[in-house]
Structure 1
């Protein structure tokens, strides 16, 4: 047996060829690997970032819109990313990241050798090998590839090379910051700052440890670990992050146990273009910025990008005043809509009035042809018959309501009627002395109603035009508020002032034509015959010249006397800025929406310079304001004082928040068009002018009577609710003082001892021409 054993023993030199073969193959493999890395580094397998690109990695930075009080109103972006600095990252957020994604982050130089070996041996079942730096390399410079194994290996090689270069180029803190700023947390939350705002409605620096753990947990797969759709799964993932933090000594076992028991709280605040605060303003601002970009190129001649260059736009909007304005519109319009719907229940042409079925069908037809459905189907080559048929087929829809979006089934044709039945509102508030626009509400809901009733909409202004006629008479003829004119019927004959026919305006209710009335009472009661007498004295052209100087487009205002009663279509934007001139002692200031624009580095690119012009004397402006104060003292605006001569229950039922009980001086004017399709109120205190319009998209959609269809019921309550909130916020410093009286005022405004005052009628009639 021993001899046999000795014969079977192989000499040592017989294994040399295997050992030599192994090391030869190993060497060849190593050389191939090195060669592959070299080729990858030289760009043989796809473009690699240059030194300059590593120094300044390309990122799409959102343009951020700030309010005058420093709040973020919204953003313009391709990717909703607003970068922040390392110092703005809470310590527990960084610790959670390192503990969960890369335990040896501070020890390696971009590639974790231990983790790579472990991943290779266990085929990834005990964790991957990608370091934070590798993940950043993938986010910045590589793209997802197909499931082809060879392509995936090449991509991993490229990630390793870029990761090592990033480690040489940046500090660990900079790498962490770049990673947090680049990651897409879904729901248009690109970067940690956007994610913090969207999921928790706070800045990243204010995140608590639970919130930090939620966001770090999402880094594994943000679409899968989505706190809005899968809260229980995200909570479990959050608790795993706590375990990792405890394992790495960032928190104790006791702290981990306590944190894991806490409920997960999400404050989901989307930042889409259709959502958030001041949506209509942001849409208008977008147009402003596009024009500015076209006129202001970069130093190298290229254009700024509103969606990628990270501009900072500092606007005039005050976030609190905007909030109060939006709340006032929502509160009142949603309330009065109920009455509007009730009155339409027995209306055969609802929601339209004063038209027949043929006219109703024409409106629907026109709306169909303007719709996105029609445009898309037409582009697909569909016939008009096919397109029309599609409007009568039921479909699942998500439609607007004042109680939130409703999931329903209706035909597109019915949806047109449904949306046309809603009352809309426009509201703008500005500082007369600076022109700064402080609040801008363009409609009921921007997501569902894109049309902006502040700047885009132009509607008949009714009696809110009358102060321009009075101001012209005061400026030209030195009329006093105490001067009186007869209320009797008055006719301006054909041929006079460009009139083609005789013009004989009627007063409200076609009654009350007796006696004399002071100008102050005439404007307060909106007496049409007195306004007609005034424009007859001044002529229509001087009135048009005045409103043109006040910033109103006059191209479509004919030089005829009937303009005195407000037949012209004017935007709310123009009306508020024009009225502001009266409060600013006759000086027109062009409205301001942007105070400053900066680039991503804080360099000032634009600084607003006020545009002003003298329009009226201080005396004429003050006397006009004095007239307008009469409207809220004993005219259609008396409801702001908490009193109403008739105490009408229908009005009190219609208006939320009545009475308002303001004691301070307020100058203003209501306005109502002939068929109640437009209700207006523009009110001013010394340092704030605010205008409100209420109506529907189509002028044939309106209240049947003046009880609800007047400006004092439709628009004035929004002003009242807004100003109550504004005054309750002492930080806003909105004036309760009287309007500044010019020195050496030569026109009498105190009617107590004025000669004709005894013939003045200051009573409030049962019905006013609002």
Structure 2
């Protein structure tokens, strides 16, 4: 360069610096900002990492980042390997990268972060795009990479638990600090995990609305599929939801979700993943959802899962786990196929029984006193137990007229019917009146040889009726308790062939003499019956004679040995089933007969594993010899009399159950027509059923209407008929086990057939 040219350039610079102070200010500002950025940014990041005086809030530890603790739902698994449901705060279940279909991974990367495999956790080109959008007022999405989003989902960087004093100010300050933490965590994630592992982490943690967290649950919820079964348009729909799970929710906004799906499909076309023809074809498809929200009110074995939940919470507390976040695998004895059969049988019978119940009562209410008079204050007492009433009292005061007005104000409500849920206008009082008219039921089926519970139906619909009638409820068992009275007599030397007169004894208790009639209202016919015939006919008269011979306290002790754990009053009326028991313990106790006198405590958990498949605990059951095997087998013979003897209460069982099969059973009905029971025994299953109202004051229209043979037995019959149609379940028809040593020398179960009539009365028994 010539000296004259150099001198000219120097003069131009001097003129600009001297005569243009604004230019000097710009240059100074640029250099100042540059030094602030170069020094301030590392300092700011350092302060966020160190968190002095808790200004920025804590960061996850390096160990936590290297071993991210994602909160996974705990799964309940049936004996046949089916998923019965999950316990969760956020419904999610993990998958490995290998379980993800390549088309889903490709769709995700193209749509959400197409430079994912090129950056190290932060994509500066995307930040420039965001900045350009802000300047031009044409925003085109956020700048977060998949790694940053994974950091946000894993460690809840926007939550209160990581918030410091500055973050509590909210607004841009809070957002900047949260973003910074996500950058830091993303950097550590990229150092620790492969790209494939980060994709799996992301898809396992991202929310998809409708209580679906993670790709596995999302695929199950929206399409009823596993992730590996997703098609391209299905993957595009789920990926599109990630840009706004509420806004693009296909259930609430199907058109909007379809448009977003097609936007994702167009991106796939732009990146040459699909052809133009494929795009045109796929974009024209409807959503084709198979939507099913998974929660504790839906699916099968809902009542069982709720009972199991309480037990598992106690176990988790003792062993240091969180049921809703630890990803446990809970293996149970429930057979999902038998569970479905039980639920089908219950629904089929209860639908018809409810219709007959409503027709019989008509416009009258079924809550009546022992004398058949309607209880006028029933609804008022029940409504006071509701949360609605308590909230109104808290707001207006107990004596305010506003409480009554609000309780009777009509509002939109979705209600249960046996023809399906429907919307209606109901007041709170209407709702209480409506729901208390429904009959409830419980059914439980157990393998007596192992103690394993195979099916558990706790009620008619868990969405609307939460109370479990298998184990939670306890009611008077009526005549089903007679098995323990007869069992004690057989144990003490009586034979099924021993004959008793059908005459009620006069029993004196506390100075009062009373006699117990049979179900037909008479005090006996004077006919002699064998014990087997008397039990088959459920004669109260013979039962009371045995109670007098055996004494109530001895019957209590026998029932205890057989498996009854509830409090039992040692009184004569106990023989007629006046002490409350649960269906669960009754089935366990009857199983002691079938198992030749060995009581096996019912159980339903086999083992618990952690999320990695490590066994945390194996479960076994308790066994004890409750009575000798000869007594037990004789009682099996006695209970078979209900099916085989003329006038037996179980003779209504269908040939589908009884043909080529040994079956026994006992019906039970309470005196006030509130409870109907049936306990049925087969060589390899014992099944109990209870039917009645949720309140004892809710009665069947008559004793015969509510009898166990009409209200409860049909559910057993329908259930066992279904079980026998499915040989793959492994519960075929057959014979009960026989005692290894026989019945004893000279003992026989064949009784001579003869009856005698007498006219004598029994003496008063003190």
Fold match, TM over 0.5?
yes
- In the alignment, the residues of structure 2 paired with residue 178 and residue 500 of structure 1 have an alpha-carbon distance, to the nearest angstrom, of 77
Q: Helix, strand or coil for the counterpart of 2:606?
A: strand
The Cα of 1:693 is off from its aligned counterpart by: 0.2
Say if 2:671 and 2:703, in contact at 8 Å, map to a contact too.
no
TM-score normalised by length of structure 1 = 0.88
The one of 302, 326, 329 aligned to 2:346: 329
Q: Does 1:539 align with 2:539?
A: no
Evaluate the alpha carbon distance shift between residue 31 and residue 708 of structure 1 in structure 2; reply closer, same or farther with a 3 A threshold. Answer: farther
Evaluate the alpha carbon distance shift between residue 137 and residue 290 of structure 1 in structure 2; reply closer, same or farther with a 3 A threshold. Answer: closer
The one of 676, 689, 694 aligned to 1:679: 676
Q: Deviations over 1:370-392 (max 9, x none)?
A: 21123333444723434344323
- In the alignment, the residues of structure 2 paired with residue 714 and residue 377 of structure 1 have an alpha-carbon distance, to the nearest angstrom, of 39
Q: Which residue of 2 aligns with 1:764?
A: none
The Cα of 1:22 is off from its aligned counterpart by: 6.0
TM-align CA RMSD: 2.7
The Cα of 1:473 is off from its aligned counterpart by: 1.0
Instruction: Name which of structure 1's ranges 564-573 and 51-60 shifts more when overlaid on structure 2.
Output: 51-60
Q: Which residue of 2 aligns with 1:4?
A: none
Q: What are the within-5 Å matches in structure 2 for residues 648-687 of structure 1?
A: 662-687=659-684
Q: Deviations over 1:692-749 (max 9, x none)?
A: 0000112232222244221111111111111222222222111311101113322678
For structure 2, which runs of at least 5 residues remain unmatched after alignment? 1-7, 160-166, 758-766
Q: Which residue of 1 aligns with 2:764?
A: none
Say if 2:109 and 2:116, in contact at 8 Å, map to a contact too.
yes
The one of 477, 499, 507 aligned to 1:493: 507
Evaluate the alpha carbon distance shift between residue 406 and residue 548 of structure 1 in structure 2; reply closer, same or farther with a 3 A threshold. Answer: same
Q: Does 1:440 align with 2:456?
A: yes
Q: Does 1:248 align with 2:271?
A: yes
The Cα of 1:14 is off from its aligned counterpart by: 4.5
The Cα of 1:26 is off from its aligned counterpart by: 4.2
Q: What are the within-5 Å matches in structure 2 for residues 295-694 of structure 1?
A: 296-297=318-319, 303-347=320-364, 350-354=365-369, 360-380=375-395, 382-385=397-400, 386-477=402-493, 479-487=494-502, 489-494=503-508, 501-510=512-521, 513-555=525-567, 557-634=568-645, 635-642=648-655, 662-694=659-691
The one of 29, 35, 38 aligned to 1:31: 35
Evaluate the alpha carbon distance shift between residue 598 and residue 660 of structure 1 in structure 2; reply closer, same or farther with a 3 A threshold. Answer: closer
Instruction: Name which of structure 1's ranges 730-739 and 250-259 shifts more when overlaid on structure 2.
Output: 250-259
Q: Deviations over 1:538-568 (max 9, x none)?
A: 222221101111221353x222222212122
Say if 1:37 and 1:157, in contact at 8 Å, map to a contact too.
no
Q: Deviations over 1:289-308 (max 9, x none)?
A: 233234x33xxxxx322222
Q: What are the within-5 Å matches in structure 2 for residues 199-218 of structure 1?
A: 199-218=222-241
- In the alignment, the residues of structure 1 paired with residue 213 and residue 755 of structure 2 have an alpha-carbon distance, to the nearest angstrom, of 71
The one of 40, 43, 57 aligned to 2:45: 40
Instruction: Name which of structure 1's ranges 260-269 and 8-17 shifts more when overlaid on structure 2.
Output: 8-17
Q: Deviations over 1:94-138 (max 9, x none)?
A: 111111111111111112233332332343544543221122223
Q: Helix, strand or coil for the counterpart of 1:709?
A: coil
Say if 1:547 and 1:554, in contact at 8 Å, map to a contact too.
no
The one of 60, 65, 69 aligned to 1:54: 65
Q: Does 1:188 align with 2:197?
A: no
Q: Deviations over 1:599-628 (max 9, x none)?
A: 233332221122111101111111111111
User: How many equivalent pairs are there?
Assistant: 722
Q: Which residue of 2 aligns with 1:650?
A: none
Instruction: Name which of structure 1's ranges 373-382 and 588-597 shifts more when overlaid on structure 2.
Output: 373-382
- In the alignment, the residues of structure 2 paired with residue 148 and residue 544 of structure 1 have an alpha-carbon distance, to the nearest angstrom, of 70
The Cα of 1:41 is off from its aligned counterpart by: 4.1
Q: Helix, strand or coil for the counterpart of 2:754?
A: helix
- In the alignment, the residues of structure 1 paired with residue 540 and residue 173 of structure 2 have an alpha-carbon distance, to the nearest angstrom, of 85
Q: Does 1:13 align with 2:13?
A: yes
- In the alignment, the residues of structure 2 paired with residue 639 and residue 669 of structure 1 have an alpha-carbon distance, to the nearest angstrom, of 12
- In the alignment, the residues of structure 2 paired with residue 97 and residue 636 of structure 1 have an alpha-carbon distance, to the nearest angstrom, of 65
Q: Helix, strand or coil for the counterpart of 2:121?
A: coil
Say if 1:640 and 1:662, in contact at 8 Å, map to a contact too.
no
- In the alignment, the residues of structure 1 paired with residue 689 and residue 695 of structure 2 have an alpha-carbon distance, to the nearest angstrom, of 18
Q: Deviations over 1:342-370 (max 9, x none)?
A: 111153xx132346899623322321222
Q: Helix, strand or coil for the counterpart of 2:512?
A: coil
The Cα of 1:679 is off from its aligned counterpart by: 0.7
- In the alignment, the residues of structure 2 paired with residue 57 and residue 28 of structure 1 have an alpha-carbon distance, to the nearest angstrom, of 40
Say if 2:591 and 2:599, in contact at 8 Å, map to a contact too.
yes
Evaluate the alpha carbon distance shift between residue 703 and residue 15 of structure 1 in structure 2; reply closer, same or farther with a 3 A threshold. Answer: farther
